[in-house]
Amino acid sequence: MMLRAGLGFVGALALLTGTAFAQAGDPAAGEKVFTQCKACHTVQAGQNRVGPSLFGVVGRAAGAVEGFAYSPAMKGSGMTWTAETLDKYLTDPKAAIPGNKMVFPGLKKPEDRANVIAYLAQQK
Ligand code: HEC
């Protein structure tokens, strides 16, 4: 009986910390999620590939990297990248900004999005 109660408590704690992580975002876990972005993006300033450099992306206006040929949809989105707008965009890029040219299906897990956003917030 005591043992059962003890395990239940540990389980509840694990659930609680899991939730806390999902909300705050874990940059180290986010760096792993970012491997999915690396085919097209770097976090080095001025280093554009298929996609624009994501150096300093949190807090900047969408479509603002010098020398990158954005789609008119991205350039005209009027969006500023915050944790909130990034979460929306990365859930389903096509739905969030119709006509943008990022060919990526999106990150379906909320914790993956929170973690990669926490990682990106450090790249400045
Ligand atoms: C297949 C290539 C590709 C992959 C993979 C990809 N992206 Fe992109 N991304 C792009 C392109 C291209 C654009 C520019 C879109 C436009 O101009 O319409 C873009 C734009 C963006 C922007 C807007 C940048 C700005 O300067 O306004 C963000 C933020 C972004 N991507 C984040 C990510 C993240 C995070 C991942 C991984 C979870 C990812 N992308 C995966 C190609 C990609």
- Cα-Cα-Cα-Cα torsion 92, 94, 96, 99, nearest 10 degrees, comes to 170
Q: Which among 79, 81, 78 is positioned nearest to 54, based on CA atoms?
A: 81
pLDDT in tens, the chain (124 residues): 555 555 555 445 444 444 444 458 999 999 999 999 999 999 999 999 999 999 999 999 999 999 999 999 999 999 999 999 999 999 999 999 999 999 999 999 999 999 999 999 999 9
Instruction: Tell me how long the chain is.
Output: 124
**CA nearest ligand 1 atom 40, residue:** 37
Amino acid occupying residue 32? K
**Distance in angstroms (rounded) separating the CA atoms of residues 4 and 24:** 31
Distance between Cα 52 and ligand 1 center (Å) = 7
**118 CA to centre of own chain:** 7
**Pocket-forming residues, ligand 1, beta carbon under 6 Å:** 36-37, 39-41, 50-52, 54, 57, 62-65, 70-71, 73-74, 81, 86, 90, 100-104, 107, 116
* 68 within 8 A of 48, measured Cβ to Cβ: yes
